[in-house]
Chain A
């Protein structure tokens, strides 16, 4: 694409959203060891099925292959990564350095996150950073895209050199199920002000509450400034549904869904059916620009789910597109 295409990063995800397609993103958790074979395997399931795949950043504070490295491997296996970056482990110096690093390695999407507290992970005695919060982080990445570091200095190698900013498509997460509920849309508005381009939500099970939140988003006109990708997760079994209801922080799983899973003869099939119904409903919800499918340790089912949802094949984009 030539200059003046209006793209901020030229990433595939950005192009799909800018063209008005209903976007699909997936998720890939990097391995907990120096054996990368699982990345290739998971990429095999997701390739050509999703527009981009989130590479988690030491999620739940458990040490894993870094999101940049796993992102580069995902790229080699034909997927466009969304590099997640949490505020827990890096200060503003390390973040900006890693953003430059990720960019020179070809990464074009970033997801700015606060990050789970380290007490959840395998190094609970570590020291956290939280130099920035996720809203400040979004603003920093946006400033970098515009050519300046957070400190105000221009991003160039010398006074005579051209500006060489990392042009990232900037995402963030939002949890409509967090409290206080009335603040959740305010938080999104703050992220929009900071310059976020897209949002992926926490997995949605409580559809009425999600829709209430979406209504507030639309009332504030935020859906016109930010692409909202609604998070969905298929239950593998009734046990998983129950576990997520009772043990996972920041989620609400209605009892009716757990009961439905319990009554089903084929739990896995029922879980997929529920997921398909949710995707259907989300596609019809005003302001929802796509889905973020988090098939937790169930990546192999992603092709089936997306095919049955009528979301494959994915639209073609200009692979050579650059940000204008």
Chain B
């Protein structure tokens, strides 16, 4: 899922400055699961804002997803009369809401962090960087692009020590140590011996904004 985190309240207050009627719009999918922008977080943020700015109106609403047209259409009427939409979706959701409800100003209430997993309760970590050409078949399903701090493709750099990454040996695991251990368990250490060629980064964002087209899914 997309992992996000709420922006500091001071930043949010700065964004609502000059707006008296604010619609706080949650998203019920990824960011609800990572407890950043679901119905519950909308309620918490709205009441904090009401306390801080009692003269303003903060209306709450949460839709299933802000990355799909049909759900955004559901709040078109609700949004009428509000001069600002504070979206608690990931960046894609914020942008799509603004695109569809074009008469509104839409601002982000979250910082979008990563494509990741709920590793532990209250602990979400990055697992994929959407490189466009997945190589997990070669790495024991552990992503070298996302989990190695340098996105290396040919194994750990010289800074890997005791399972930890040089950037922060106390808190950040070495992604390549994880790959190595996983391949060892699978009996596939032979994969560590193969030279991987340079990656085609044009399949990633380096090639420009990406689009997936599928005729079979067209109306």
Binding site for B on A (CB under 8 A): 87-88, 92, 114-117, 119-120, 128, 130-136, 139-140, 150, 173-175, 177-180, 183, 186-187, 189-190, 193-194, 202, 249-250
Contacts and interface: CB of A to CB of B under 8 A. Distances in A.
A132 to B, nearest CB: 5
A321 to B, nearest CB: 31
B193 A186 contact: yes
A180 B195 contact: no
Nearest to A139: B195
Interface stretch (B26-34, B101-109, B144-152): B144-152
Nearest to B169: A249
A178 B198 contact: no
Contacts of A140: 198
B9 interface: no
Contact of A174 (B158, B159, B180, B195): B158
Interface in B161-207: 161-163, 166-169, 174, 177, 180-181, 192-193, 195-198, 201
B188 to A, nearest CB: 13
A255 to B, nearest CB: 17
20 contacts: A88-B150, A116-B166, A117-B166, A117-B167, A132-B198, A135-B196, A136-B153, A178-B161, A180-B156, A180-B181, A183-B180, A183-B192, A186-B192, A187-B154, A190-B193, A193-B195, A194-B195, A202-B158, A249-B159, A250-B166
B166 A189 contact: no
A117 B195 CA distance: 22
Nearest to A132: B198
Given A180-B180, A186-B193, A249-B166, A92 B198 contact: yes
Contacts of B198: 92, 131-132, 136, 140, 150
A250 B161 contact: yes
Contacts of A190: 154-155, 193, 195
Contact of B154 (A136, A175, A177, A178): A136
Contact of B162 (A136, A179, A189): A179
Given A116-B166, A117-B166, A136-B153, 4 more contacts: A134-B157, A135-B195, A136-B198, A249-B166
B114 interface: no
B111 interface: no
Contacts of A189: 193
B158 A130 contact: no
B177 A250 contact: no
A179 B150 contact: no
B149 A117 contact: yes
Contacts of A133: 150, 152-154, 157
A96 to B, nearest CB: 12
B152 A180 contact: no
Interface string B49-62: 00000000000000
Contact of A179 (B152, B161, B196, B201): B161
Contact of B155 (A117, A177, A187): A187
Contacts of B181: 180
B47 interface: no
A203 to B, nearest CB: 11
Contacts of B193: 186, 189-190
A173 B169 CA distance: 21
A180 B153 CA distance: 16
- Across chains A and B, which 3 residue pairs bring their CB atoms closest together, nearest first? A175-B158, A135-B154, A133-B152
Nearest to A131: B201
A120 B190 CA distance: 33
A183 B155 CA distance: 8
A179 B179 CA distance: 12
B125 interface: no
Nearest to B174: A179
A139 B169 CA distance: 30
A189 B174 CA distance: 21
B132 to A, nearest CB: 15
B46 to A, nearest CB: 33
Contacts of A178: 156-161
A122 to B, nearest CB: 16
Interface string B83-111: 00000000000000000000000000000
Contacts of B156: 178-180, 183, 187
Given A178-B156, A179-B156, A189-B193, A128 B150 contact: yes
Given A249-B166, A250-B159, A130 B195 contact: no
B155 A186 contact: yes
Nearest to B153: A133
Contacts of A174: 158
Nearest to A117: B167
B193 to A, nearest CB: 6
A114 B152 contact: yes
A116 B198 CA distance: 20
